[in-house]
Amino acid sequence: MKAVKTLGQFIIEKQADFPYAKGELSRLLRDIGIAAKIVNREISKAGLIDIIGETGEINTHGEQQKKMDVYANEQFISALQSGGECCIVVSEENDEHVYIDSEISKNAKYIVAIDPLDGSSNIDVNVSVGTIFSIYRRKSDEGKATLDDVLQKGTEQVAAGYVIYGSSTMLVYTTGKGVNGFTLDPSIGEFCLSHPEISVPNQGNTYSINEGYYTHLPAGVKKYIKYCQVEDDGTSRPYTSRYTGSMIADIHRNLIKGGIFIYPATSQYANGKLRLVYECNPMAFIVEQAGGKASDGYRRILDIEVTELHQRSAIFIGSQKMIEKAEEMMAEFLPENAKWISGLNEKLNGVGQIN
Ligand code: AHG
Ligand code: MN
Ligand code: MN
């Protein structure tokens, strides 16, 4: 019989990868794992108790806030507060960054960005939802951390992960040394290592995009969708289309089986819908660590300058070859303001040069 390795054991083992680490990051990951178990417990009861439905409040982005969004937000913030390793939390559910003002968190080194519940509109209909988190080291050494500590590029992440509350509950994370996945064993209440060293296939046969927006999509995306649908034995096309409305569920599937997830700019959302800091960057870090690619159609997600907490970005993420193919088609229809895309001329290789 194979020995079970729990998330806690794994985190302690991996601490040796960071010779100067004092265990703060490990404790932070542990705190997130605890909150995830509490949120999981409530989500699994969502159909039974009167916790589903809307609060009647509208969040920062003008969306209806679901009760579970609020509950998950509170649970993660409170776990980070009692853990003492995090000084600021940036959350989809809070307009401003939230200071953790307790005595023990004052000099904490880490900043956590979270989407406490991703795909929350799926809660009422029993489709998988998730939590996304991203961890940064604060830039300043001491004193009260500021917004400047928070606005860091995706390349600065020290860890990122997600929890998927699905047919089973999993926690998947990276600290920049590969990606590992843990499945919650409800009988012992522990996340157990089930998917060591996840690697995303270079090429998949699934594409995930909301095709209902077809008329509003950029020309390059329309061309890519048509490419996915064409019959071609050599490249196993047509590809399969899968889109749940929970980014976590779609990216998790593509991470394991290969595939591409796209949430592009549309005429409704000029910069896409998804948020850079707590949706795109953590998922990009994880997918890159698994050998995949994440881009806004033109440039690497992790290199995008962060200027606002709730900044949005288009995203193309998943199997390397599929992202490259989509980027190739995006480059054929460059927006007028494309000059800012550094390194683009080199990448275009003579196709559609911009001056
Ligand atoms: P959230 O529930 O955190 O607001 O995120 C929902 C996101 C993402 O998970 C999903 O892929 C996307 O919104 C779906 O949007 P559309 O309905 O516009 O396709
Ligand atoms: Mn989300
Ligand atoms: Mn959310």
Mean pLDDT of 295-321: 97
Note the pLDDT tens digit of each residue in 275-307: 999 999 999 999 999 999 999 999 999 999 999
Q: Residue 354 has what pLDDT?
A: 39
Counting ligands in written order, the one closest to the CA of 278 is 2
Q: Which of 119, 146, 121, 144 is nearest to 130 (CA)?
A: 119
Taken in order of first residue, the domains within the chain and their CATH numbers are 7-195 (3.30.540.10), 206-348 (3.40.190.80)
74-113 pLDDT, tens digit per residue, is 999 999 999 999 999 999 999 999 999 777 787 899 999 9
User: Using CA atoms, how far apart are residues 223 and 344, in angstroms rounded to an integer?
Assistant: 20
| C-beta of 247 in contact with ligand 1 (< 6 A) | yes
**pLDDT tens figures, 140-190:** 887 888 999 999 999 999 999 999 999 999 999 999 999 999 999 999 999
Ligand 2 centroid to 131 CA: how many Å? Answer: 8
Ligand number with the minimum distance to the CA of 275: 2
Q: Is 93 in the pocket of ligand 1 (CB under 6 A)?
A: no
The pLDDT of 230-240, averaged and rounded, is 95
Pocket test for ligand 1, best of 67, 246, 261, 276 (most atoms within 8 A of CB): 246
Distances, alpha carbon 238 to alpha carbons 214, 232, 247, 329, in Å:
18, 7, 22, 17
Instruction: State mean pLDDT over 327-334.
Output: 93
Mutation to probe ligand 1, out of 274, 275, 316, 317 (largest number of atoms < 8 A from CB): 274
pTM of the model: 0.92
**Which residue lies with its CA nearest to atom 12 of ligand 1?**
245
Euclidean distance between CA atoms 76 and 91, whole angstroms: 10
Q: How many CA atoms lie within 13 A of 101 on its CB side?
A: 3
